[in-house]
Amino acid sequence: MRTTLVKPRIAPATKKDIPLIRELILELAEYERALPGEAPVTEKNLARTLFGKKPAAEVLIAYLGDEPAGFALFFHNYSTWLGKRGIFLEDLFVRPPARKHGIGFALLRELARIALKRDCGRMDWSVLNWNDLAISFYKRIGAKPMDDWTTFRLTGDALAHVAGAEK
> Per residue in 46-77, is it b (16+ CB within 10 Å) or e — as a string?
beeebbeeeeeebbbbbbbeeebbbbbbbeee
How far apart are the C-alpha atoms of 37 and 49, rounded to whole Å? 20
Note if 31 is an active site residue: no
Catalytic residue among 31, 63, 78, 138: 138
How far apart are the C-alpha atoms of 155 and 162, rounded to whole Å? 10
Q: Which residues are catalytic?
A: 138
